[in-house]
């Protein structure tokens, strides 16, 4: 559980320092708000309700991203890749891979699954 919270905190910090110019991503199927529905660590899967947490990623059509975890938000940038999308800064890159209609991100053994809400 501590590892999940650490990963989320790291992701929020990284997204907070993201900088760069926006670009036109209006044609991307990934534009919209993505909400984490579950997390998994060491084979144990928990819903975000079980974790008493809310975790969203909004991918805007200008290449900007807003990551929100339990009411705390960070702004950044995103780009579409062959496998999904990447959110990155000068130090870290988080690869969200497409899995059917979901996006999945894994870091340090913690995996979150996101569903598009709008």
- Is-contact 16 10, C-beta < 8 A? no
Domain that holds residue 57: 2-116
CATH number for 99: 2.40.128
Backbone phi, then psi, for 107, in 5-degree steps? Answer: -150, 125
Backbone phi, then psi, for 3, in 5-degree steps? Answer: -70, -40
pLDDT of residue 20: 45
Distance separating alpha carbons of residues 87 and 39, to the nearest angstrom: 19
- Token pair, residue 50, equals 């079980």
pLDDT of residue 19: 42
Largest CA distance in the chain: 39
Of 92, 86, 95, 107, nearest in space to 17 by CA = 92
> Is the confidence at residue 5, as pLDDT, over 70?
no
pLDDT digits over 39-91, tens only?
999 999 999 999 899 999 999 999 999 989 999 988 889 999 999 999 876 56
Number of domains in the chain: 1
pLDDT digits over 14-44, tens only?
544 444 455 788 889 999 999 999 999 999 9
> Model pTM greater than 0.75?
yes
């Amino acid at each position: 559980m501590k590892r999940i919270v650490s990963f989320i905190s790291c992701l929020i910090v990284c997204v907070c320092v993201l900088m760069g110019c926006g670009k036109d991503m209006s044609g991307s199927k990934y534009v919209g708000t993505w909400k984490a529905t579950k997390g998994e660590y060491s084979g144990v899967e928990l819903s975000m309700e079980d974790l008493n947490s809310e975790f969203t990623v909004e991918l805007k059509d200008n290449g900007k991203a807003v990551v929100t975890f339990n009411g705390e938000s960070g702004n950044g940038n995103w780009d579409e890749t062959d496998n999904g999308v990447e959110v990155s800064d000068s130090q870290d890159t988080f690869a969200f891979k497409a899995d059917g209609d979901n996006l999945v991100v894994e870091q340090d053994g913690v995996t979150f699954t996101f569903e598009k809400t709008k």
